[in-house]
Chain A
Amino acid sequence: MTSDEHKEGIRGMANPSRYGIERVAYLLMRLSGLGLLAYFVAHIYETSNILRGQVGWDEFLELTQTTEGHIFLTVVIGMCVFHTVNGVRVMLGHGGVGVGKPTRPDYPYDPASQNYRHKIGIYSAIVLAAAAMMYGLAVMFGE
């Protein structure tokens, strides 16, 4: 009973458990978008250390050479790949591509827009992100 409007609120919006993989993709897209935005800002700040010359640059770069730094970068890689691949899917969908054609619906009314093409897109984004993260881990920790 958060308000008179009885809106479900952020908790309901961010609950990925009820409406299939499409709602999971929606949540991951939002989180990765915001994560990338945060990384982007931090990245500009980080690279601006070049103004402090070679020493300042090297000092800051060492932050990413720690275990925590490696894990952080792995998450960034995952967000990047998921956001890009799923972003292409969402943009196509938003343009009406691959969302099915209107017909005369029949019981049990499986919605045509929630089809295998978009599901494949979502699972590809997840699998590619996971693969890129593993590659990143292998490179960073494999040295």
Chain B
Amino acid sequence: MAQVSSIADEQTSTPVSSSKSITLRISRYNPKHDESSQFMEFSVPYEKWTTVLEAILEVKKHFDHSVAVRYSCRQATCGSCGMMINGKPRLACFTKISELNSNVITVEPMNNFPIIRDLAVKFERLFDSHHKIKPYLIRDDSELESDEREFLQSPKEVEQYIQFANCIKCGLCNSACPTMATDSSFVGPQALAQAYRYVADSRDKGKDTRLKIIDESHGIWRCHFAGSCSQVCPKGVDPAMGIQLLRGYLLGFRS
């Protein structure tokens, strides 16, 4: 299946004044009829600013349009393009080839997510867990009814949670997490960080409900504070911080 090709001479969307090229190894796997994954290799030209996603799209355009990859925004906003790039979960659109300092770039589907095909993985479990922690403000009244028309917050109150609201649901954290690696039921760093995001919001009154949801055997206690989630998060969410602060409530360190 392996094939080495070169597109340096062809017309590409990346301006190919560049003489630099890398070998892009793409993991190919279709669970419907393949027994195991195999790598296909392509030689792709790049510039200082070329992203891994652009390199994959070059391959799709010129060599093999059947490579399955999910993407949309190309600017680290939609959370679609997470994949293992040289062994670590990263956003393909947010990772420049030049920053990887390697002549060979290996892309594989994210760990801890079922594979749909090639680089595309299923997000059902991530979304289910996210939904489970009730990712919305819980309170009896609504902004529409209240006299104030909106629930005011001081900049300080906003600062308590805004970092966690940066989450784009890309799943990189869940892919790096050592507990996710072996536990099929763990709620995961993404959802736990979102539980903190709402618990820390001064407008929210659902703290007790949420703490109860995560206080179970495959909930927050499975976190060992290894911190890998925070190291791979592309948006500075720092799930590990959120989880420990959240656990502080359950342990009685905070109220």
Q: Is the contact region of chain A dominated by helix, strand, or loop, or is it mixed?
A: loop
Q: Are A96 and B111 in contact (CB-based, < 8 A)?
A: no
- Asked if residues A100 and B241 are in contact (CB atoms below 8 Å), the reply is yes
CA distance A31 to B180 in the complex (A): 18
**Which of B166, B181, B240, B244 makes the CB contact (< 8 A) with A13?**
B181
Q: Does A10 contact B (CB under 8 A)?
A: yes
Please count how many residues in chain A sit with their CB below 8 Å of the partner chain's CB atoms.
39
Q: Does A36 count as interface, using CB distance less than 8 angstroms?
A: no
Quick check: A114 and B166 within 8 Å, CB to CB? no
Q: Which residues of B contact A1 (CB under 8 A)?
A: 29, 36-37
* A18 neighbours in B (Cβ, 8 Å): 87-88, 176, 228
Asked if B180 and A7 sit within 8 Å, CB to CB, the answer is: yes
- Chain B CB within 10 Å — which of A1, A6, A97, A105 has the most? A6
Contact B244 A7 (CB under 8 A): no
CA distance A104 to B234 in the complex (A): 14
| CB pair B241 A12 closer than 8 Å | no
Type the 1/0 row for B216-250, where 1 means its CB is closer than 8 Å to any CB of A: 00000000111110111111111011101101100
The verdict on A34 contacting chain B, using a C-beta distance below 8 Å, is: no
Instruction: Tell me how many residue pairs across A and B have CB atoms closer than 8 Å.
Output: 142
CA distance A111 to B164 in the complex (A): 12
Q: Which residue of B lies closest to A110 (CB)?
A: B236
Q: Interface size of B by Cβ–Cβ distance < 8 Å?
A: 53
Query: With A and B bound together, what is the CA distance between A25 and B228 in angstroms?
Result: 12
Contacts of A12 in B (CB 8 A): 111, 178, 181
Say yes or no for A129: interface residue by CB 8 A criterion.
no
Chain A residue contacts of B226, Cβ below 8 A = 19, 22-23, 25-26
Inside 8 A of A90's CB, which chain B residues have their CB?
A: 224-225
Q: Which residue among B109, B159, B200, B225 has the maximum number of chain A CB atoms within 10 Å of its CB?
A: B225
Most A CB within 10 A of own CB, among B113, B232, B234, B248: B248
Interface residues in chain A, defined as those with a beta carbon under 8 Å from any beta carbon in chain B: 1, 4-10, 12-14, 18-20, 22-23, 25-26, 29-30, 90, 93-97, 99-100, 102-107, 109, 111-114
A-B contact pairs, 11 of them (CB 8 A): A1-B37, A7-B182, A12-B178, A12-B181, A18-B87, A18-B228, A30-B224, A90-B225, A102-B241, A111-B231, A112-B241
